[in-house]
Amino acid sequence: MKKFIALLLTVGMLALSLLAAGCSGGKGNGGETAKDSGTAAPVESNPSDTTGAPVESSKETSSETEETPGSETEGEPHVPSFDTSGPWDGVNASVKWYIDADPREGYKLYTAYDFFGFSLMVNRSGLKENIFYDEDGMVIFDTDGDGDLSDEAGYSEQNVIIGDVFQGMEILLMNDVDLNGKDWWPVGSNVSLRGYFDGQDHTVKNFYVSTESALHHGLKTSYYYGLFGALAYGAEVKNLTIENETLKVELADDAKNVQAGGVASLLNSDAGGGGVISNVTVNGLTIIVSGNDVCASTPSIGAIVGVHANTNVQSNITVNDYQLIDNYTDETHSILTQPDNYQARDGKSELFLNCQVNMKAS
């Protein structure tokens, strides 16, 4: 009997031992705790990290995740590799303003690089050339002259637009821009601008146009000299100040229909609506004409426009400190300009309302 009682006590104690072990059960596999098993506890996600990725905090891993200068890390805004905030460098152009635009709100130009991108858009439309751009909206040029853009930095065959004459569209200048005395390509050199340019009382300053300007931008010759080339189909330029402008017209024997104006080269014919300029001031305009060859036709020079070829009224335009330096020696042709200096053709003075040209004091 005693042996039977001892056996029962032994079995009972064993059962109690097993029950105690079950109640204190392990947190890991097989009853082991995380600490005991050697498995690291999971890292809490940063609530502000919308990616849900674990936050790396160890100094040992910092060297592995360190970004090189100019690179982009996840969650940070993209920083453009090219600073477009300053004066124009005479080469580069941006079309981001065009890519991101809602045409119903107008195309908005913020920088000198945007302004040159606008010129490229119009002029390459005339040349029927595509415009390729990088992820920042900067135009890609053929820097090595091999005729192939695919080897240029930032090139993608997907990032391409065609030129635009902006017919019936509004283009808005949002800031003052500095063209920095570099070779300018007049807006509407190969085809007429057909949109409505509103300077919104801002200033375009320090621009220069010459025969070399055309060569600089890939043209063989240029017959238009001005901030704008040809305006047609109701195009407008208004609410703008132009400051410190130089047009250097160098005439050769193949020159024909050369037109130079402080605002635009040509206001085209009434077909489609012509062109209109209003509320524009030019402060400081120098036009230099030189050459000793017999030209194909007489050059047309004006402080406001080279040729006014339509019946639209131009209004509220003032040109200050204007000087025309005539070094042209062709005995067959002379510079064609009018006494009022507005433009070059006869019988158009009545189409200039409240306009004034003030010559630079000698």
Whole-model pTM over 0.75: yes
124: enclosing H helix or E strand: helix 112-127
Q: DSSP string spanning 173-185?
A: E-S-EE-TT-B--
The two structure tokens encoding residue 212:
């070399």
**Digits of tens for pLDDT over the chain (362 positions)?**
555 555 555 555 655 555 555 544 444 444 333 334 344 434 333 333 333 333 333 333 334 444 444 444 455 665 666 899 999 999 999 999 999 999 999 999 999 999 999 999 999 888 788 999 999 999 999 888 888 898 888 889 889 999 999 999 999 999 999 999 999 999 998 899 999 999 999 999 999 998 777 665 665 566 899 999 999 999 999 999 999 999 998 876 666 678 999 999 999 887 778 899 999 999 999 999 887 666 666 788 999 999 998 899 999 999 999 999 988 776 666 778 888 899 987 657 889 999 999 999 87
Of 208, 213, 305, the closest CA to residue 261 belongs to 305
**How far apart, in whole angstroms, are the C-alpha atoms of residue 73 and residue 76?**
6
Judge contact between 214 and 221, C-beta under 8 A.
Answer: yes
Rg for the chain (alpha carbons), in Å? 36
Of 118, 311, 292, the closest CA to residue 198 belongs to 118
Judge contact between 170 and 195, C-beta under 8 A.
Answer: yes
Q: DSSP string spanning 311-340?
A: SPPEEEEEEEEEEEEEEE--SS---B--TT
